[in-house]
Amino acid sequence: MTDNAPDNQKVRDRVLIIDDDAEVREVVIDMLDSAGVKTMSAGSGEEGITLFQSHQDEIELVLLDLSMPGIGGKETFRRLRALKHDLKIVLSSGYGQDEVKNDLNFLGLTGFIQKPYRYAKLIGLIGKYLDGSSPG
């Protein structure tokens, strides 16, 4: 993939991608890598929580799929937020934004992105939150 991100969008903070779909994870990793964003990834909520616990000083933002088997996105969100109350968490889903925001806004949802991902929108959203914006 070519580097389509302007230099001012090249961020260096690590993003943890939690999504049960391996293809989606790989696409997101490629997109973020092309913009200079360091990533880690997990294939389940459980794995994501464990990875976050081991690397929470490195992880600035979590991109979290809402619909996953096992511990779903909502419960993973709650557990991550319990570990670090000011963690920036962007939920992703094929469902509409209003449904998601109504459920999780009160818990401090940082942002939402609709699937399928579009490069410019994903890079813009991640860059916005890695530039020092606070959650919520």
Instruction: Note the pLDDT tens digit of each residue in 59-71.
Output: 999 999 999 999 9
Give the DSSP letter of residue 29: H
Q: Residue 91: phi, psi to the nearest 5? A: -90, 145
Query: What would the pLDDT profile of 87-110 be if each residue is shown by its tens digit?
Result: 999 999 887 667 666 666 667 788
DSSP for residue 100: H
Percent of the chain with pLDDT over 90: 67
Q: Quick check: helix, strand or coil at residue 110?
A: coil
pTM, whole model, 2 decimals?
A: 0.84
Q: Where are the domains of the chain?
A: 10-130
Q: What is the CATH number of domain 10-130?
A: 3.40.50.2300
Mean pLDDT value of segment 18-33: 97
